[in-house]
Structure 1
């Protein structure tokens, strides 16, 4: 392969602006794929990494675990998950995590998202060693041979697919744990960030009868309604009791069948546990960093209700594939989540927009 000059925005020190750097790429490792990034999503968790709040992050690193792009070169033979041979020019998306396939969680418990050896592009893969390009805030990325890839078409919306690679797949994981059909069920979603809003589209796609969103931003609640929520409740304008009454009225006094915590705040459980019906299911997916403990009523909320509380950690390849399927049928709705599109060199501004919550979702374009 001819030498390639790639460029990326690199986090060299926590809480210091990302630095624009060039990387010379010659041969890529056997079985790897060199991809030109066409769309990179900025995730809220990227802000935690930038601030040094995620212990997995090495320095220096190219952030960005949400991406979509075009194959430049494949060293050897590589097929996607449908068995299609990949070649230069193909558009692809990929699972952000690579599991070892050998440990207890991969082989015995069949929970590969819990693999202790899991490698994640843009999160725990530094850029100091060749081939450097292991994150999506970059013009190119080099994908390891073990990466799970899906070929997509020119008709697909790469911006939405990139965005779906994290919050979409994690939201799908939360719903995938529910052991029943969603037909006839009432789903309550706490939070209207990307995770919660993907949850709205997934709940609707899986056949939920009522989808209710609780959040504090009028703009995000309006968006939740536009993409399929039946009822939205502004937690800044209503009391806990008013919200509880609204949900009890809809559910004939029972409470929600399924609740998705997508706020990122452990305190959401204090309200959500009162909204859950007896025998209900609570997926806690938004709490992504350590927080203060919350006072939990074990008897009233857990035992008496015979409730299931399920922690949701990231996602695996099955969630990735199912998310691409649902996303591809809802591009028009999900594209409304993207509030800002910026060139790669403005990645620092993108992080500021996400941290201030001025942006719901930012997409970076390497050459934009």
Structure 2
């Protein structure tokens, strides 16, 4: 087989992506060659472009959110439901591959902590054959170990693609909560894709009240459209006003579950005050090293007997559950997509994400 693929390649940090052509002949045994039909641009891609993520090698094809059509399977490959994959099938895939051999994979059963985890478009460069290891490309070659789900023509590939990172990470946060969400009050800090996926997940899991705190009126309006009961513009209200309002709706207790989805460590300073005694705080948005923040160990942690849980990426179980919830909420979640661009405009897509003009951008290789 001979195929010429094109991709937008990051060769130097803080320099525009360059369109490159790659010639693909035989793919490795057990691999899947996929035509990318939809690629999501994640906010974390901006951090990688800026050289802020220490995992990123150069050169690299960015993009860890994708959906596509199978072109070739070298050998037999089945999806997670046991269905045999063949050319023409539409699929989505888990962006990360874990080793299956380390302590975290085998003993603690926390594969998302695997130190050998490989991630398409994040820590897999394109200098070595078969090159195509990111979604800012016309095609991608998936390793045999990649977890895949077959989807149908009825599915919304754009929404599924963008769910592969922020959706799966948000689900991981909710999945760590040891209780039922029925009757619970959830506070979400941040109204980017991570926080807004959190709104839909909280609703799907039965939360009684969902509150969103953010600084964009447009995003807060969208949060209400997709299920938030109460929203606060942090630029127009004080932290004390927000705390009092949340205490009022929870009979003076505070929130049962708080999700940090801002990407800013300083959000903890408010979030900890909103949490009830015995509450659960999930920190999911902080994705790169930041300055330390002062933490009141006695007041926020000990006296409240609270749980503060870091949420690092996601695993295959979160991937599967996210696809399930996403597939039941296409109409709501499609509202998160603000821009659709051809792949050749990937540099503009990154600019739109960095300026926050875009909430979510989808790239189309043949657009």
Which runs of 5 or more residues in structure 2 are unaligned?
Answer: none
User: Would you say how many aligned residue pairs link Structure 1 and Structure 2?
Assistant: 367
- After TM superposition, give the deviation of residue 317 of structure 1 in Å: 0.1
Using the alignment, how far apart are the partners of 1:230 and 1:6 within structure 2?
46
- After TM superposition, give the deviation of residue 102 of structure 1 in Å: 0.2
Using the alignment, how far apart are the partners of 2:344 and 2:10 within structure 1?
13
Using the alignment, how far apart are the partners of 1:20 and 1:299 within structure 2?
54
Residue 84 in 1 paired to residue 115 in 2?
no
CA deviation digits over 1:42-99, x for unaligned, max 9? 0000000000001100000000000000000000000000000000000000000000
Using the alignment, how far apart are the partners of 1:39 and 1:203 within structure 2?
26
- After TM superposition, give the deviation of residue 30 of structure 1 in Å: 0.2
Using the alignment, how far apart are the partners of 1:267 and 1:61 within structure 2?
31
Residue 147 in 1 paired to residue 146 in 2?
yes
Q: Secondary structure at the match of 1:325?
A: helix
- After TM superposition, give the deviation of residue 250 of structure 1 in Å: 0.3
Q: Secondary structure at the match of 2:220?
A: helix
Aligned pairs (5 A) from 1:247-262: 247-262=246-261
Using the alignment, how far apart are the partners of 1:323 and 1:247 within structure 2?
28
- After TM superposition, give the deviation of residue 194 of structure 1 in Å: 0.2
Using the alignment, how far apart are the partners of 2:239 and 2:48 within structure 1?
33
Using the alignment, how far apart are the partners of 2:334 and 2:24 within structure 1?
33
Which runs of 5 or more residues in structure 1 are unaligned?
Answer: none
Using the alignment, how far apart are the partners of 2:234 and 2:89 within structure 1?
45
CA deviation digits over 1:274-309, x for unaligned, max 9? 100000000000000111111100000000000000
CA deviation digits over 1:145-188, x for unaligned, max 9? 00000000000000000000000000000000000000000000
Q: Secondary structure at the match of 2:194?
A: helix
TM-score, normalised by the number of residues in structure 2: 1.00
TM-score, normalised by the number of residues in structure 1: 1.00
- After TM superposition, give the deviation of residue 318 of structure 1 in Å: 0.1
CA deviation digits over 1:336-363, x for unaligned, max 9? 0000000000000000000000000000
Q: Which runs of 4+ in 1 moved over 3 A?
A: none
